Amino acid sequence: MLGEMKARGTVLRNFADVGTGTGLLAFAALELWPRSLAIASDIDAVCLDVVQTNAALNHIAMGAGAGELTMVVADGMDQPLLRARAPYDLIIANILAGPLIELAADFGAALVPGGSLLLAGLLETQETQVRAACRRAGLRLAARMVNGDWSILWLRRRPGVAVRSSRPGRLPEWARAW
């Protein structure tokens, strides 16, 4: 789906991969949009070392600059650096349907108008509930893919939905040393 987004002209300057696990989706997005600001997070602190190891194996620079990946431990969007870097052009979330439903409003609020939300990790039978939560958060379906029993959804933020920050991608001074 990331390749499809690129082919359709999606431009990324700033993105987040929430629930990154191994970091591979963030790496793929950086490969397609190599000058983007990128942050990845996971609720499990074990992922910090996993992502750093995988980044080295895949020649992905870790850091806070354009083309580098910043990694943090976070429960959803509840982390100071994730909030400071918003709004995002893209949020990727490859997590279970329950958390996707719970986080839909936070995701919608953290996107720029017209920004993209890429969801994976949900069964096709769970798609209706996830899409309903996203619709309530001001997101509309742009495309979907089904792979076996699994759905991948690309949603876009409708104009007029409030965004938490008016300074996309800017890090406060304290966060630059993170």
pTM of the model: 0.89
Whole-number pLDDT of residue 83:
95
Whole-number pLDDT of residue 159:
80
CA-CA distances (angstroms) from residue 67 to 27, 62, 124, 139?
10, 9, 33, 27
Q: What is the pLDDT of residues 80-123, one digit of tens each?
A: 999 999 999 999 999 999 999 999 999 999 999 999 999 998 99
Q: Look at residue 169 and tell me whether its pLDDT is greater than 90.
A: no
Q: Which fold has domain 2-159?
A: Rossmann fold (3.40.50)
Spans of all domains in the chain: 2-159
For strand 150-157 and strand 111-123, is the pairing parallel, antiparallel, or unpaired?
antiparallel
Q: Look at residue 170 and tell me whether its pLDDT is greater than 90.
A: no
- pLDDT averaged over the chain? 90
Quote the CA–CA distance of 138 and 132 in Å, as a whole number: 10
Whole-number pLDDT of residue 121:
86
Whole-number pLDDT of residue 2:
96
Q: What is the pLDDT of residues 24-70, one digit of tens each?
A: 999 999 999 999 999 999 999 999 999 999 999 999 999 999 999 99
Ramachandran bin of 102, using left for φ above 0, alpha for ψ from -120 to 50, beta for the remaining angles: alpha
